[in-house]
Chain A
Amino acid sequence: MTAAPVALQESTESPGRFRRWLTSPTGAQVTAAVVFIGAWQLLTLIAPRVPSPASVVNFLYVEITGGSHGGIVTGEFFEHFAITLRRFSLGLLIGFVAGVLVGILIGLSGLARALLNDTVLVLLTMPAFVWAFLTTMWFGIAWQAPVLTVALSAFPFVAVNVAQGTRAITPELKHMSTAFEVGRSKQFRHLIVPAIAGYIFAGLRFAIIIGWNGILLSEWFSGQAGVGFRTRYWFDANRYRGFVGWVIVFIVFIVVVDRVILNRLQKRAFRWRDQSDVDFIQVEEGQVGL
C-alpha cells in the first residue's frame, strides 16, 4: 500500500492496465519486494550501522567475482560454498539413511518403538548449537565436526517422519498380503515403500532445513572455512555489509532448494495422490515442531 504511489510514478501510460497488474498476484509480490527494499533503505538512514542494499549488492559482486575488498582481502565465494556443500551433503546422507532405517524399524516393531522412541525424542529436542559445541570438543576444528552436526541434527526428524508413515500403513493391506503369501521383499517393495515415500520425502525436506542451520552454526563456532565461517569472518571484522551479504546467500540457497526445487519435486512425484493427502503430510511435518 505504501509503495503503490511510488510505483505509480514509474508508469506513464495506460494506468488502468497498470492498476490491474498491481492488484494481481505478481503485482502484489513485486510490491512487497519493493516495500521491503524501501524499508531497508529507510532503515539505513535512521541507523547508520545498517549497510545499505546497494553496498551489500556491491559486496556480493566483489565476493563472487573474486575481486579485491580493499587491502589484501579478496573475494572468496565459490571456495567456501563448495566446502560447505560437500560437508553438508555428506552429513545429510548419513543422517538421512540412518533416519530412514531407524524410522522403519520403529514403525514396524513395537519393541523397537518402545526401546528407541524416547532416545529419538531426546535427540529431536537437542538444539543444533549443542551438537556444534560437542562435536568441536570431540574432534577439534576439523571436517568431522560440521558433518556430524548435520547428521545428528537431521537424523531424528527423518526417523520421526518415517516412523509415522510406517505406522500409518493400513494393517488390512498388510494382513491381506501376508494371507496371499506375498513374499517379504515383495511386500517391502510394493506395500511399505510406496506407503511411506511421502513421509520419507517430507523427512528429507526437514533434514535439509535443519541440517543447513546445523552446518552454519557449526562453521560459525568452529570452522576455518565454509559459509558459516565466512559469515562470521565478516561479522568479526565489523563489516556488516559482508555479514548481511552472506546471510542473504544462505537464505536464498535454502529457500531455492526447499521451496522451488523440493516443493515442485514433491508435487510432481505425488501427483497421483489426493491433494488433501499431501497437505496432511505437510501438517504432520509441522507438528514435529522443527
Chain B
Amino acid sequence: MTDTVAETLQEDLDQAQVLRTAAGSRRRRYLAVVLGWLVFIGLWWLLSLWVGSEARLPSPGRVFQEIVTILQEDFWAQFWASIVRVFAGFLVAILIGTPLGFLMGRSKYWSNFLQSPVVVAGSIPGLTYAVMAFVVFGISFWGPVLAVGLISMPYVAINVAEGVHGVDRRLVDMSTAYGRNESQVFRHVVVPSVLPFVFAGVRLSFSLAWKVGTLTEVFGSSKGIGFQIRRNYQLFNMPAVIAWVLLFVLFMLLLERFVLVRLERRLFRWRQWERDR
C-alpha cells in the first residue's frame, strides 16, 4: 500500500519535473526566437549604418516610422483591394479547375489528355501570367483576377483529380445498392469527399498566387499592394518600398497561419491520418 503511494508520488514528482523542464525549454525557445529577431534587426541596422544612404538601405527605425504612417493612412483600403482580387482569382481557379479535375479523376483518356497541359501550366513563370493579364485587360480589376486564377488552376485540378480517385468505392457501391440514384450519390458521397481537395489545391497555391497577384498589380493596376510597391520604387522612396513589402509579408504569414491552417484542419477533421500527423 505504502509502496504504491510512494510510487504514485514519485511518478507525480517525475511528471512535475518533466513539465518544469518542458516549460523551461519552451521559455528558452521563445527567448531564442526573440533573440533571432533582435539579431536580424541588429544586423540590418548595422548594415544600414555601413551603407549610410537612405535611398539604398534605410534603417529599421526609419522603416518602422513609414509602416506607422502607412497604417494610419490607407493601408486597409489597399490591402483590401488586393485581397478581393486574389480571392476572386481563387474562385476562377476553382470554377475552372474543379471540372477539369473531375474529368481527370474519372476517365483515363481525359487524364492523359489534360496531363501535359496541366503540368506545363504549373511550371509557367509568374511573369508570363502577369504580362498576359496586363495585355488582355490593361489597367483593370480583372488583370490580377485572371493571373491568380490561371496560376492556381493546375493545383486545384490536380488535387481534385486525386480526391476523385480517393472517393471510397465501397460507399458508392453501398449507396447504389440501397437504391440511391446517381445525383444523390454525387451530392452526398462524391462532393463531400472531394471538397477538402479543392481547398487543398487553393492552399497549396496560396502564397504563389499572392505573389503573382501583386506582380500583376505592379504591371497594371491603380490600387493594391503591388501598385504601392511599384509607385514608391519609381519615386525612389526606399523606406516606403521596404515598409510595404514587410507589411505584405506580415499579413501573408498571419493569413496563412491563422486563417488557412485552421480552416484546413476543420475541413480535414474527419480524416484520421491528418489528425495523426
Contacts and interface: CB of A to CB of B under 8 A. Distances in A.
Interface of A: 23, 25, 28-29, 31-33, 36, 49, 110-111, 114-119, 121-122, 124-130, 133-134, 137-138, 209, 212-213, 216-217, 220, 228, 235, 240, 243, 247, 250-251, 254-255, 258-259, 286-287, 289-290
B123 A251 contact: yes
Nearest to A27: B112
B249 interface: yes
Interface of B: 29, 32-33, 35-37, 39-40, 55-57, 109-110, 112-117, 119-120, 123-128, 131, 135, 155, 203-208, 210-211, 214-215, 218, 229, 233, 236, 238, 241-242, 245, 248-249, 252-253, 256
B128 A251 contact: yes
Nearest to A49: B135
Contacts of B126: 128, 213
B270 to A, nearest CB: 20
Given A29-B113, A115-B39, A119-B40, A251 B125 contact: yes
B125 A216 contact: yes
Contact of B215 (A119, A129, A137, A247): A129
Contacts of B238: 137
A220 B238 CA distance: 20
A30 to B, nearest CB: 10
Contacts of A110: 29, 32
A125 B207 CA distance: 7
B32 A115 contact: yes
A87 to B, nearest CB: 15
B254 to A, nearest CB: 11
* Most A CB within 10 A of own CB, among B114, B155, B245: B245
Nearest to A36: B117
Contacts of B113: 28-29, 31-32
A49 B218 CA distance: 23
Given A114-B33, A127-B214, A251-B120, A289 B125 contact: no
Contacts of A122: 249, 253
* Most A CB within 10 A of own CB, among B110, B114, B128, B214: B128
B208 A290 contact: yes
